[in-house]
Amino acid sequence: MDNHEFRRWSDRAAQWGADYREALRDRPVRARTAPGEIAAHIAEAAPEQPEPMEAIFADFEDIILPGMTHWQHPRFFAYFPANAAPVSVVAEYLVTAMAAQCMLWQTSPAATELETKVLDWLRGALGLPAGFHGVIQDSASSATLAAVLTMRERALDWSGNRAGLSGQGRLRVYSSDQVHTSIDRAIWISGIGEENLVRIPVTGPLRSMDTEALERAIRADIEAGFVPAGIIACVGGTSTGSTDDIAAVCEIARRHGLYTHVDAAWAGSAMICAEFRQLWAGVEQADSIVFNPHKWLGAQFDCAAHFLRDPESLVKTLAIQPEYLKTHGREGVINYSEWSVPLGRRFRALKLWFVLRAYGLEGLRTMIRNHVAWSGKLAERLRGTSGFEIVTEPVLSLFSFRHRPQGNDDIDAHNLALVNAINDDGRIYLTQTRVGGRVAIRFQAGQFETTEEDVMAAYDVIVDCASRQPVG
């Protein structure tokens, strides 16, 4: 592809993207293909000779597009949002065109310095104290892994990377059973082991970690000769929005010298609104905090903001400095590859910079406040509708509900059938969860261009599909 063709196809791709976003409401939210259907239309082997772009692009539209679930659809109410605000897409065009590796200051000084500044903007917007320093990770999963590795090294007096875990004390990490499964993976990868992730029971309407049980578990482990390493707290858990008492958890961690990581992957974005910050009151005492601007702030995946009270502990855990990665003659520079597990780094700060400037903090606050208000309104409408119950109350814009028609004894099967019927209908997209072992249906509003009309339309779809489900 020469420069003329590159220009032509870049223009066409940009026009296609704008047309796609404009017409999203006319598409079913979830893909309607059967397993293997897309693969059956793709050649068994790569072509030996070049193929024309017209044919490639036509196959993209005819084969690939029908198999896509549309995460930017304004009636996408499943999982959590994975927003790509239009201005973020424009920024990613530029990042992709430059294709820089931003692992060191010297490999792209602007990328490093913009990351430092834009994370400080974000720190201020969240109300975090100036002592926190930020880095953009690819995902909350990577930030959590980095935090677990750091708590491991601190607990072992920085000997784990050098000597391994064999012969060391048995490390223990504490969390509730409401945390994301990325915590399990971090425990596996760190070598701590699933058996040493101590699950603390939850209590209260926010399904918070029982801090008295946490204290007892730590003391019991110390008496047993184990080595408590850290606590992973949750703000806005994936299933139902479970939120721990951060101040109480951090106080226990301080008392026992443990490292505290706060996973606020979804809910953290809402903390740009001061009125929601009671959900993570005490967070300034944590050692590590992560949230994903690619969920609710419009900076498309991947973009996880990881804030640290003591970056030196993270760097001491992760930094490797062979000669070819050293920056000579430049003192005081930051090499963010030393703050993360991967060496390679994309220029993620640009899209965040574009979003914060194009929408402004007040524009983003308005969007989040609207989503919270509209979701609460939907919950009340369902609560007032015969046959429906609210299972977990709204946490920000997330709640769960259940349909309980009279005469149906298998409520779990009924609600699984209902959520499948809703998704097969195509007008909206929801997911299920389990609360107390029983099936419930999740709803969350968070897509960047969702309107109140879109959220209220969900009520009509839910009630309509429920009315058509067999009772027995």
Tens of pLDDT, residue by residue over 319-342, are 876 544 455 345 678 888 888 888
Looking at residue 217, its amino acid is: A
- Cα separation of 29 and 424, whole Å? 9
What are the tens digits of pLDDT across the range 353-383? 999 999 999 999 999 999 999 999 999 999 9
Mean predicted confidence (pLDDT) in 24-45? 90
What are the tens digits of pLDDT across the range 404-447? 988 777 899 999 999 999 999 999 999 999 998 899 999 999 99
Q: H or E stretch including 377? A: helix 349-383
pLDDT of residue 323: 44
User: Would you list the DSSP string of 318-360?
Assistant: H----GGG--TT-TT---GGGGSS-S----THHHHHHHHHHHH
101-346: CATH, from 3.30.70.270, 3.30.1950.10, 3.40.640.10, 3.40.1000.10: 3.40.640.10
Helix axis angle, 311-318 to 140-155, nearest 10°: 90
**Dihedral angle over CA of 189, 304, 207, 434, nearest 10:** -70
Locate 131 and state its tokens. 């002592």
CB 227 within 8 A of CB 218: no
Mean predicted confidence (pLDDT) in 122-145? 93
pLDDT of residue 91: 94
CB 245 within 8 A of CB 209: yes
pLDDT of residue 331: 62
* CB half-sphere exposure, 401, CA atoms < 13 A: 28
**pLDDT surpassing 50 at residue 230:** yes
Locate 55 and state its tokens. 């044919």
Mean predicted confidence (pLDDT) in 173-178? 89
Q: Is 179 exposed, middle or buried (0-12, 13-18, 19+ CB in 10 A)?
A: buried
> pLDDT class for 394, splitting at 50, 70, 90?
very high
Looking at residue 87, its amino acid is: V
**pLDDT surpassing 70 at residue 184:** yes
Looking at residue 392, its amino acid is: T
Locate 342 and state its tokens. 């991967």
Mean pLDDT of the chain: 90
What are the tens digits of pLDDT across the range 147-172? 999 999 999 988 888 888 877 888 99
3-79: CATH superfamily: dopa decarboxylase, N-terminal domain (1.20.1340.10)
pLDDT of residue 415: 94
pLDDT of residue 75: 93
What are the extents of the domains in the chain?
3-79, 101-346
pLDDT of residue 472: 60
CB 142 within 8 A of CB 340: yes
List residues bridging with 414 in a β-sheet.
none
Looking at residue 443, its amino acid is: F
List residues bridging with 175 in a β-sheet.
199
**If DSSP states are collapsed to H, E and C, what string results for 200-222?**
ECEECCCCEECHHHHHHHHHHHH
**pLDDT surpassing 80 at residue 39:** yes
> pLDDT class for 133, splitting at 50, 70, 90?
very high
pLDDT of residue 324: 43
Looking at residue 252, its amino acid is: I
pLDDT of residue 108: 84
Tell which residue, 457, 393, 380, 450, has the closest CA to residue 425.
Answer: 457
